[in-house]
Amino acid sequence: MDLLAIGQSVMVQRSNGETHRATITRLNAERDIVSVQWTEADGDKGKDLLLDRIIETNPEIFAPKAVVPPAPTKTLSQPQPQPELQPLPKPQPQPQSESQLQVEVTTPTPLLLPEDPQKPDTETLVRYFRKQLVLHPLVAVGLSGPMKASGIMVCVRKRPLNPKEVAAREVDVISLQPPNMLVVHLLRLHVYREPTLDHQNFCFDRVFDENCSNAGVFNYTARPLIRHIFEGGWATCFAYGQTGSGKTHTMGGVVEGKNQNVMDSIYAMAASEVFSIIQEPESAERNLSVGCSFFEIYNTKIYDLLSPGNKQPLRLQENCQYQMEVMDLIECPTSGTAEVLALLNTGNGARALGKTSANEKSSRSHAIFQIVLRSAISKETYGKFSLVDLAGSERAVDNFSSNSQTCTESAEINKSLLLLKECIHAMGRKSSYIPFRDCKLTQVLRDSFIGKNVKTCMIATIAPGMCSVNSTLNTLRYANRVKELKVQAPVVPPMPPLTAQLSKVLESDATEKRQAADPIGDIPTYTLDGQIYCSLCSQPVTCMPVLCPYFGLSNKKPQ
């Protein structure tokens, strides 16, 4: 910049490739920008150019100053090489074999950069970052320990680069630091500075890398939940992520050609664990039986995957215990893992699948596989384990299909996932209204978030490529919001001591309400841990008569 001056004539190159003379009108040393002006037939024109562009088009101005400062004009007239110029040019690297290049990359150095240190690529920066991580790999044997007392367990699984991404030379921008740390690398490009990496850090209950098998994922996610259903609880494990991130691979097993190997699925491992525990002496005393059901939610309708013949849509209703149930759903009694595998093969064959531009074998529905423990005598439900394989979210720019059915399926999938996200946001804000009734998916998963004696585990699957980094960040932020939710039984608020003055006030105040609301005097009740409570004031009503602040004195037996 010191070699240039305002009013100096320099050569500039236009965007159309034309080169001509122009006059310098302004110099910006801080940003290395040179403003030039020239005259044409239709008037004066100007342009702001980077200093590097001026150097390329005017080598005679800058080369002499670096070699022979006293006589720049004389140096220009002598094209022969000068002895002083030999140390300045950068030596060209010698060609190396493939093995030599591999040794150079794997050799630990303070900083691995490409040939041009001013423009480091993403892969090199990510590789340098990973060399500083301290890794603690997970052990895929034994139990992972007790579940969290409250809240939802959230795990993240990263899949490897697929052949299509490898052929496109995609860069893996996801770094894991087991057991619970995850980093997303975003390349930030700057106009006047070298590129840098922006590291987005996340912390979850567990993270699984691309080398972890389905058995290792099952050990830390679904396996601790099985003990909970043998204690009379409800459990849910669901997989969430973008399309093609590995949800069906995790829940349903490895896809081999047109078939799916269910032996390697969390479905089959969970069933095997259930039959292993039910043979224990403590579980044998409870005299429990095992039943399995398999259904899907496709385009706002519920279909039974185990129903023979044509599938008919089923109804979803709320029972007397305020739990959602699918009416006329087939529940097949099972006595071993082999029978469960046969049911899984039948259900997977009937599930709605399709081919999209984002995924060749994309699940077009939400699949729910349930393992139900019932009393062998009374047939009452003792515990239930729901395994949910959610359909993947899809962006319109990633789906180039002109098929109207595929577009309708994608719209319904995104709508249901959006409504599920709205419900999670409402629970995170502790809103008084949670829109669970807006779609079938949120109604089915309602008890997994706000039910009594429920434990839930979420497996978020992500893709490692740079082209999927935006969807990956959305999935991780979604999972981070789910991790903050609390799942616990409702607490009955204690009633204040009933003094004589308070009794008169309540009895006089409730007379008009009782006549307007219920002249007979019946009070709505609910049962919690064997104790009957009033649904309006939460006062125990085991002893009659009952004085309710809303219905007054009632001698009617609670129903």
Residues flagged as binding site for ATP: 241-248
What dihedral do alpha carbons 58, 63, 65, 70 form, nearest 10°? -100
What dihedral do alpha carbons 84, 90, 92, 97 form, nearest 10°? 130
**Residue found under tokens 């007379």:** 511
Helix (H) or strand (E) holding 532: strand 531-534
Task: Based on DSSP, count helices (H) and strands (E) in the chain, helices before strands.
Answer: 17, 27
Q: Which residues pair with 34 in a beta bridge?
A: 27, 49
Residue 235 CB: number of other CB atoms within 10 A? Answer: 25
> What φ, ψ does residue 347 adopt, rounded to 5°?
-70, -40
Pick the closest to residue 236 from 279, 206, 272, 266 (CA basis): 266
Give the largest CA-CA distance in the chain. 117
Cβ–Cβ < 8 Å for 376, 289 = yes
For residues 301 and 313, give the distance between their C-alpha atoms in angstroms, rounded to a whole number.
6
Known binding-site residue numbers: 241-248
Helix (H) or strand (E) holding 290: strand 288-298
Measured N-to-C along each axis, helices 337-350 and 266-278 cross at an angle, to the nearest 10 degrees, of 150
259-261 and 254-256 as β-strands: parallel, antiparallel, unpaired? antiparallel
At 107, list the tokens.
């050799």
Q: Which residues pair with 255 in a beta bridge?
A: 260
